[in-house]
């Protein structure tokens, strides 16, 4: 009789655990890649790229930002909403938020620009390496140089 008393709660617990939605092991894998839009000519020289560790933002011309991703939250809505948390250059906490639609093989939308579609474009000419080198040249070195270091 005692065994039967434990079977019902244990079975219910196993059922709840089995039915609970699981986050992917790599939550950014579904939105990883280089993204561009052709919906607005003002964004022709803009792009962003998401990797497991970094968020790259090409803001036009040679202006760009690279941010290390701190956390990712996926909110279940009509479309899954990805909220990528990162720290700015001054240490302030920011959130980069996008909706993922499965139309056309995957499309991202910003919450404030639902009329503009961003598509994965691995061939987009985004010179991250060149821009990163330019950024290093423009920035003064921090710290002191020591002989032999």
86-127 pLDDT, tens digit per residue, is 988 888 999 999 999 988 888 999 999 999 999 998 777 765
CA 45 to chain centre: 20
Predicted pLDDT at 42: 92
Domain-located, residue 2: no
Domain-located, residue 139: no
Domain-located, residue 128: no
Domain-located, residue 49: yes
Predicted pLDDT at 72: 94
- Do the Cβ atoms of 65 and 57 come closer than 8 Å? yes
- Tell whether the model's pLDDT for residue 17 goes beyond 50: no
66-70 average pLDDT score: 91
* Mean pLDDT, rounded, of the chain: 75
Print the domain residue range for 29.
Answer: 24-122
Tell me how many domains the chain contains. Answer: 1
pTM here?
A: 0.68
The residues, any chain, with a CB within 8 Å of residue 140's CB and separated by 6 or more, are none
Strands (E), 26-147: 33-36, 47-50, 54-58, 64-75, 81-87, 93-101, 107-110, 113-120
Domain-located, residue 65: yes
Domain-located, residue 142: no
Q: How confident is the model at residue 37 (pLDDT cuts 50, 70, 90)?
A: very high
121-135 pLDDT, tens digit per residue, is 877 776 556 555 544
Domain-located, residue 17: no
Domain-located, residue 59: yes
């Amino acid at each position: 009789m005692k065994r039967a008393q434990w079977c019902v709660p244990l079975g219910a617990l196993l059922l709840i655990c089995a039915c609970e939605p699981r986050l992917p092991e790599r939550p950014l894998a579904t939105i990883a890649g280089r993204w561009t839009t052709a919906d607005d000519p003002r964004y022709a020289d803009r792009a962003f790229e998401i990797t497991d560790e970094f968020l790259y933002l090409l803001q036009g011309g040679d202006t760009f930002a690279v941010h290390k991703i701190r956390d990712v939250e996926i909110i279940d809505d009509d479309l899954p909403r990805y909220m990528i948390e990162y720290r700015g250059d001054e240490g302030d906490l920011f959130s980069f938020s996008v909706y993922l639609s499965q139309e056309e093989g995957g499309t991202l939308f910003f919450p404030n620009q639902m009329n503009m579609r961003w598509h994965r474009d691995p061939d987009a000419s985004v010179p991250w390496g060149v821009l990163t080198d330019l950024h290093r040249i423009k920035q003064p070195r921090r710290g002191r140089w020591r002989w032999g270091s």
